[in-house]
């Protein structure tokens, strides 16, 4: 039996957001976490990972050794600060030039494979793939056509420029990695993708950081009242994520609790995204308009350790998004033993075990959301049961598993690329890597 080819070094492209940025505000979210978690785990398996991202500060060093086996290359492309994500397509040429120059410093075949994240990176990876003669694996993370089909109220549709750009990447990539079967189906039906070239790989959670712990200790650390009921939203504050739905749904629950001397608090963790503002002013105003301003707390984006305390401190975590290709927050909360009430969209229907580790709500009707949250709070036994099921459900999703599946996708991409391009650098590196694999095996 021939051994599967394994890349020795991967060029991972993440144009619009750096894995070193704090997630939970601006353009930094689940993709940053995904890139960082999979890069470090691939590196632990002996695969060198070089991440190309756009420099967003004059103080960014061009090359950063971020972790053993993981290098971040900050490519200068356009102004460091203040460049809106919508203006990034105009910087792709400069960015690609930076990527090609970095590779040109080495002998041909320096990278065995390219993995691009989000369509902007896919455009860069497409050109690099053709120049370097190695396979391109692409992960879209979100798809414009899917987002446009379920827009939040007041949200603007993704432009045709992105839809066309995504289509080109889908057509060009050697393999596509998607989060769920639903996303695979969407890629086939909306982008006419070849199902045989799609690998479904669930993202994960860092199950060591996100683990159950003392709720009272978490509340004490966060300065939360030990006796309040806490309903939490975590993520980038933008219409697509619908934190306003949580506020509106919680308002009658908070008002009713007040009448009986109980207290319910909404905790919103994260920063604005897409507004350029420092504060989520519209959401703060909405809380006041609903008469619950004093029962809503806002926390700026939190690092993972503190975020785990947020999940532990919460009675329920809600994810009311209009679309979500997976929803890492839902898995992280359950990994901490906290049930999740989520919209029944995209990957959330995989991330939450409906009726077991949480609830899935159809649509965004505020009354339905109030009923779902209220119904759970009114049945403590059910909540206890869900807390029990939350962690085991989350344990199915680990970054180790994600990385194993990614490696399988890389092998398949290298194999099919070598078969289609027998004289290419990629074919030579697939042959070399199979020999390396055999050597590694013989030492085991």
- Please check whether residue 311 is in contact with residue 207, taking contact to mean a CB–CB distance below 8 angstroms: no
Which of 230, 427 has the CB closer to ligand UDP? 230
Residues contacting 117, CB < 8 A, separation 6+: 12, 13, 14, 31, 34, 35, 138, 139, 141
Chain centroid offset of residue 404 CA: 18
22 marked as binding residue:
yes
- Which is it for the CA torsion 289, 318, 222, 28, positive or negative? negative
31 marked as binding residue:
yes
Smallest distance, ligand UDP to C-beta of residue 394, A: 13
Smallest distance, ligand UDP to C-beta of residue 51, A: 17
Smallest distance, ligand UDP to C-beta of residue 254, A: 23
Which of 113, 333 has the CB closer to ligand UDP? 333
Residues near ligand UDP (CB under 6 A) are: 23-24, 29-31, 33, 234-236, 269-270, 301-302, 304, 307, 326-329, 332
Print burial letters for 39-69: b (CB count within 10 Å at least 16), e (below 16). Answer: bbbbbeeebbbbbbbbbbeeebeeebebeeb
Which of 142, 429 has the CB closer to ligand UDP? 142
402 marked as binding residue:
no
Q: What's the CA gap between 304 and 274, in Å, rounded?
A: 22
Output the residue with the shortest Cβ distance to ligand UDP: 29
Smallest distance, ligand UDP to C-beta of residue 235, A: 5
227 marked as binding residue:
no
Smallest distance, ligand UDP to C-beta of residue 363, A: 20
Q: Considering only CA atoms, which of 326, 320, 395 is closest in space to residue 363? A: 320
Smallest distance, ligand UDP to C-beta of residue 271, A: 8
Which of 24, 337 has the CB closer to ligand UDP? 24
Which of 127, 308 has the CB closer to ligand UDP? 308
Q: What's the CA gap between 373 and 393, in Å, rounded?
A: 20
Count how many Cα atoms sit within 13 Å of the Cα of residue 89 in the half-sphere of its side chain. Answer: 10
Give every strand in the sheet of 9-13, ordered side by side.
Answer: 63-67, 70-75, 48-54, 9-13, 113-117, 136-139, 175-178, 198-200
Q: Which residues are annotated as a binding site for Mg(2+)?
A: 311-312, 314, 338
Mark the binding-site residues, compressed into ranges. Answer: 16, 22-23, 27-32, 85, 118, 142, 162, 236, 241, 302, 311-312, 314, 324, 332, 338
Q: Could you tell me which residues are annotated as the binding site for 1D-myo-inositol 3-phosphate?
A: 16, 27-32, 85, 118, 142, 162
């Amino acid at each position: 039996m021939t051994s599967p080819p394994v890349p020795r070094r991967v060029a991972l492209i993440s144009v619009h957001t750096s894995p070193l940025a704090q997630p939970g505000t601006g353009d930094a979210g689940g993709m940053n976490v995904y890139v960082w978690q999979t890069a470090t785990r691939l590196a632990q398996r002996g695969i060198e990972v070089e991440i190309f991202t756009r420099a967003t500060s004059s103080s960014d060093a061009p090359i950063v050794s971020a972790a053993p086996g993981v290098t971040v290359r900050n490519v200068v492309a356009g102004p460091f600060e203040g460049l809106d994500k919508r203006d990034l397509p105009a910087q792709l040429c400069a960015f690609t030039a930076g990527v090609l120059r970095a590779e040109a410093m080495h002998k041909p075949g320096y990278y065995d494979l390219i993995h691009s994240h989000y369509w902007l990176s896919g455009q860069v990876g497409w050109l690099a793939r053709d120049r370097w003669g190695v396979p391109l694996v692409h992960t879209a993370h979100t798809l414009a056509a899917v987002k446009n089909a379920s827009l939040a109220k007041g949200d603007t549709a993704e432009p045709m420029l992105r839809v066309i750009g995504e289509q080109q990447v889908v057509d060009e990539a050697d393999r596509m990695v998607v989060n769920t079967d639903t996303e695979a189906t969407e890629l086939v039906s909306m982008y006419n993708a070849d199902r045989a070239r799609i690998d479904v790989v669930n993202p994960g959670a860092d199950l060591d950081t996100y683990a159950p712990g003392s709720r009272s200790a978490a509340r004490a650390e966060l300065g939360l009242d030990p006796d309040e009921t806490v309903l939490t939203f975590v993520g980038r504050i933008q219409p697509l994520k619908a934190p306003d739905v949580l506020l509106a749904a919680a308002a009658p629950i908070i008002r009713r609790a007040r009448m009986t001397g109980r207290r319910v608090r909404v905790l919103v963790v994260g920063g604005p995204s897409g507004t350029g503002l420092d504060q989520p002013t519209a959401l703060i105003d909405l809380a006041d308009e609903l008469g619950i301003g004093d029962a809503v707390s806002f926390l700026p984006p939190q690092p993972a350790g503190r975020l785990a305390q947020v999940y532990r401190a919460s009675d329920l975590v809600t994810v009311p998004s209009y679309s979500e290709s997976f929803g890492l927050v839902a898995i992280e909360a359950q990994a901490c033993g906290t049930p999740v009430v989520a919209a029944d969209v995209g990957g959330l229907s995989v991330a939450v075990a409906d009726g077991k580790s949480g609830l899935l709500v159809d649509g965004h009707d505020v009354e339905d959301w109030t009923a779902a949250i209220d119904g759970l709070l009114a049945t403590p036994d059910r909540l206890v049961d869900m807390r029990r099921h939350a962690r085991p459900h989350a344990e199915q999703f680990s970054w180790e598993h994600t990385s194993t599946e990614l490696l399988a996708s890389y092998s398949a991409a290298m194999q099919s690329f070598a078969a289609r391009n027998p004289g290419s650098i990629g074919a030579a590196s697939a042959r070399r890597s199979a020999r390396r694999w055999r050597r590694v095996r013989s030492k085991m």
